[in-house]
């Protein structure tokens, strides 16, 4: 079992999409028994809330229902319960590295888009500016690359 935690700032826009898309890819490949997937936010401002309506809408338009998700903050326990902490942007990754226990390998805290074949390294935050369709496409490319790398046992 490989446990993957998708992380953004608020856990309402980007990481809920990453959780939903990664779960869909895992299910489509018949790998449900192999992966545990969750998402969380660096900040707790939106704890308990549904995903942003823009994320709910773009997910629904692509055939994914993420309305079962509720925002929660990253905890110290996440570093013992997840194998991979996958950050949506560099700021989120830096915050995770700051929280990580001293013995937690930094190579297990990664940028999602390091697994995408091209494009930016950071998923832009659509909270203020919108652009949920483009955000979805970036996250999907990252999730496909991440799953391929994990299945190849080569997430370098
Ligand atoms: P997310 O987007 O990190 O992709 O969930 C944001 C959500 C909320 C805020 C910022 C970004 N906020 O400032 O409340």
Residue 56, domain CATH: 3.40.50.2300
Domain count, the chain: 1
> Rounded to whole angstroms, how far apart are CA atoms 142 and 116?
4
What band does 155 get if pLDDT is binned at 50, 70 and 90? confident
pLDDT of residue 87: 98
- Domain assignment present for residue 98? The answer is yes
Q: Is residue 77 part of a domain?
A: yes
Among 6, 7, 13, 138, residue to substitute to test ligand 1 (most atoms within 8 Å of Cβ): 13
pLDDT average, residue stretch 12-24: 98
Q: What pLDDT does residue 85 have?
A: 98
Give, using CA atoms, the residue closest to atom 9 of ligand 1: 10
DSSP 8-state secondary structure symbol assigned to residue 52: P
Atom of ligand 1 nearest to the CA of 45: 14
Mean pLDDT of 61-70: 98
Examine the residue annotation and report whether 29 is marked as an active-site residue of this protein: no
Do the strands 109-111 and 84-87 form a parallel or antiparallel pair, or are they unpaired?
parallel
Per-residue pLDDT of 135-144, as tens digits, reads: 999 999 999 9
Q: Ligand 1, residues 127, 139, 142: which to mutate, most atoms within 8 A of Cβ? A: 127
Residue 156 belongs to a domain: no
**Cα-based angle 140, 143, 145 (whole degrees, multiple of 5):** 110
Residue 47 has pLDDT above 90, yes or no: yes
Distance separating alpha carbons of residues 7 and 85, to the nearest angstrom: 7
Question: Is the residue at 80 inside a domain?
Answer: yes
* Alpha-carbon gap, residue 55 to 66, rounded angstroms: 8
143 is catalytic: no
Residue 90 domain-assigned (yes or no): yes
Distance 42 CA to ligand 1 centre (A): 9
Domain that holds residue 63: 2-151
Q: Which of 38, 78, 89, 125 does the annotation list as catalytic?
A: 125
In a domain, 34, yes or no: yes
Predicted structure pTM score: 0.97
The verdict on whether 13 is a catalytic residue reads no
Residue 143 Cβ contacting ligand 1 at under 6 Å: no
Please indicate, yes or no, if residue 43 is contained in any of the structural domains. Answer: yes
Confidence of residue 156 (pLDDT cuts 50, 70, 90): low
Q: What confidence score (pLDDT) does residue 147 get?
A: 98
């Amino acid at each position: 079992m490989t446990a993957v935690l998708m992380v953004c700032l608020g856990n309402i826009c980007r990481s809920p999409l990453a959780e939903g898309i990664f779960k869909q890819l895992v299910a489509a490949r018949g790998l449900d028994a192999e992966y545990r997937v969750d998402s969380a936010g660096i900040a707790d401002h939106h704890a308990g809330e549904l995903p942003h309506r823009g994320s709910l809408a773009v997910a629904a338009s692509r055939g994914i229902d993420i309305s079962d998700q509720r925002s929660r903050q990253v905890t110290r326990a996440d570093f013992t319960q997840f194998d991979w902490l996958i950050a949506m942007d560099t700021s989120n990754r830096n915050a995770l590295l700051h929280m990580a226990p001293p013995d937690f390998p930094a190579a297990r805290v990664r940028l999602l888009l390091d697994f995408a074949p091209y494009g930016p390294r950071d998923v832009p935050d659509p909270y203020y500016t919108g652009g949920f369709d483009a955000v979805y496409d970036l996250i999907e490319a990252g999730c496909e690359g991440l799953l391929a790398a994990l299945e190849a046992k080569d997430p370098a």
